[in-house]
Amino acid sequence: MLHKFKSLIQLIFIAFILILSPVSGFSQSGKPKAVIGIVVDQMRQEYLYRFADKFGDSGFKRLIAEGYMLKNAHYNYLPTVTGPGHASVYTGTTPSYHGIISNEWYDRGESRMVNCVEDKKQTAVGTQTGKGSASPWRLKTTTITDELKAATQEQARVIGISLKDRGAILPSGHLSDGAYWYDGTTGNFISSSYYKPGLPVWVDQFNQFKLADKYLNKDWRTLLPIESYHESGPDDSPYEGKLNGKDKPVFPYILSELRKTNNQYDLIVSTPYGNDLLTDFAKAAIDAENIGKDNITDFLAISFSSTDIIGHAMGPNSIEIEDTYLRLDKNIQDLLQFLDKKIGAGQYLLFLTADHGVGENPKALIQNNLPGGYFNTGDVLKGLKLHLEKFYPGMDLIESFSNEQVFLKSETFSEDPKTASIQVALTSEVIAQYLRSVNGISEVYTRQELSVKGSSANAIHDLLARGVHAGRSGDIFFTLAPGWSTVGGTGVTHGSGYSYDTHVPVIFFGTGVRHGASSAYHQITDIAPTISTLLEIKFPSACTGQPV
């Protein structure tokens, strides 16, 4: 009798505990245990539609079915390239504030091109090649990851991973616990002394598995029978690039052979196995860094890069890119299942987006009677110099002609600032006038003209103004006409302010996210304040976006 009574008390006690426990799906505070930020390098929104019939139910389709999708989200500045893309997603602002104006740009102080994450004060960690002298020091505003660190007295774990250094460094911010990226010379994940003097034990152990070798011993064959890839063009296309050692840009890709002619470990980034390798690394990071283990929200920023490398070489209409996305769908599925198991379904918040879209091959456009063309930068510079010779004989006026900008050589102008500003204005106008006459150039602005307030949120003038940083950018700016690009041979590129480059997927999923979709226009800078609002933390320092 007494025994029975005891068990009844136990039962009541257990029931009481259960009632007091937090509702399943939420951590004690109602906040997610972790945020997983996924950037897919070069992913267009249209891939979600075009490849939909071949996606499984548990990858991209699960994110859409359970999450909230913005169908009309765009980059709201140009150039649409990787460094600025990652910086803008995580800072909620544009290059005019965060200062990452391109992947590389001409630096007047150093009189050379600089990379957005290179940092000579740092040394490489985990490699001898020097690819690790990097940090986020050129990023001029805080990120959502920085703000999460600040809000938790740095108790949140923040990690960034990617095949590319900038894809790992910029998202994880200034206060990051670690950023890791792939070293094509050794096949290892490496880092920089900015974070730690040496690699953590788990990264060392991961590198010792030599998974890159495992993948490079496989061949790349299409996931499904190649005849079923109706969503793409022919495999053997004149617009696709060939890997060294291949006569034609066609399946199968025998990697054990091709690695001999394609820099060994570098080859993996040109195959979908680069994304597989990063997925393995993400799982190792979640385990070893205890992401989502306690009630303080952690942050893992993942950037898949193989999509961009394959995309550049093959283009958006290739079977190679379709197959890469079918395989990435499996990576997403794998990652979601892992997160469900380790952190718990509904207990993490995830977003997926891209750092930019991509254009078409100019020759392919022309042959299909579509508008576009090849822009030869070298020829245009030659023409511009000849033109200037007529007005300013023997004078060296151009310091750099890069990133569709002209940097004037300040030493050439008067030492008196008043005179110099008139000279600069005149010269800028002469250059702008010439550029306006060049076939393939659509719009030209001098610094003065760009500072005049524009009319509409997505007019090229405004996109350009938001992409320019006062202390870093040039003096005259131009943009190419729709469909025009600097790709003269095979392959494609991105960087413009047109929809093929600006329109990217944005999906929120998990803790605090209702199911739904919106076709309203949203800008890429809305992602960061949306995450801040869900986490109930401060917005990044120069945030210009609005929570969705």
Q: Is 41 in the site for Zn ion (CB under 5 A)?
A: yes
Treating both helix axes as pointing N-terminal to C-terminal, what angle do 82-91 and 144-151 enclose, rounded to 10 degrees? 40
DSSP for residue 22: P
Alpha helices (H) in 34-135, listed in sequence order: 46-50, 60-66, 82-91, 95-98
Nearer to Zn ion, 178 or 359 (CB): 359
Residue with tokens 């399946």: 251
Q: Is 501 in the site for Zn ion (CB under 5 A)?
A: no
Q: Is the Cα torsion angle 67, 70, 74, 76 positive or negative in sign?
A: negative
The interface with Zn ion within residues 59-98 (CB under 5 A) comprises: 82
CB atoms within 10 A of CB 307: 25
- For residue 133, CA distances in Å to 98, 163, 166 come to 21, 16, 12
Question: According to CB under 5 A, which one of 83, 84, 171, 249 is a site residue for Zn ion?
Answer: 249
Is-contact 310 274, C-beta < 8 A? no
The 3-state DSSP class for residue 349 equals strand
Determine the residue with CB nearest Zn ion.
82
Nearer to Zn ion, 100 or 286 (CB): 100
Q: How far is the CB of 41 from Zn ion (least distance, A)?
A: 4
Q: Which residues contact 187 (CB under 8 A, 6 or more apart)?
A: 207, 210, 212, 213, 264, 265, 268
Nearer to Zn ion, 41 or 118 (CB): 41
Q: Is 308 in the site for Zn ion (CB under 5 A)?
A: yes
Question: According to CB under 5 A, which one of 119, 183, 235, 322 is a site residue for Zn ion?
Answer: 235
Q: How far is the CB of 235 from Zn ion (least distance, A)?
A: 4
Segment interacting with Zn ion, rule: CB under 5 A, options 115-123, 232-240, 435-443, 474-482: 232-240
Nearer to Zn ion, 309 or 398 (CB): 309
Segment interacting with Zn ion, rule: CB under 5 A, options 63-71, 103-111, 244-252, 453-461: 244-252
Is the bond leading into 540 cis (omega within 30 degrees of zero)? no
The interface with Zn ion within residues 416-455 (CB under 5 A) comprises: none
Q: How far is the CB of 237 from Zn ion (least distance, A)?
A: 6
Nearer to Zn ion, 39 or 284 (CB): 39
Question: According to CB under 5 A, which one of 147, 298, 355, 526 is a site residue for Zn ion?
Answer: 355
Is-contact 105 81, C-beta < 8 A? no
Segment interacting with Zn ion, rule: CB under 5 A, options 62-70, 113-121, 236-244, 536-544: 236-244
Nearer to Zn ion, 32 or 483 (CB): 483
Q: Which residues contact 523 (CB under 8 A, 6 or more apart)?
A: 73, 74, 75, 76, 457, 545
The 3-state DSSP class for residue 385 equals helix
**x-or-dash pattern for Zn ion, window 100-139, by CB under 5 A?**
----------------------------------------
Catalytic residues: 82
**x-or-dash pattern for Zn ion, window 505-524, by CB under 5 A?**
--------------------
Spatial separation of the C-alpha atoms in residues 296 and 156, rounded to whole Å = 6
Nearer to Zn ion, 169 or 296 (CB): 169
Size of the site for Zn ion (CB under 5 A): 7
Q: Is 322 in the site for Zn ion (CB under 5 A)?
A: no
The 3-state DSSP class for residue 312 equals helix
Q: How far is the CB of 220 from Zn ion (least distance, A)?
A: 11
Residue with tokens 């296309």: 237
Spatial separation of the C-alpha atoms in residues 487 and 493, rounded to whole Å = 7
CB atoms within 10 A of CB 251: 17
Contact footprint for Zn ion (CB under 5 A): 41, 82, 235, 240, 249, 308, 355
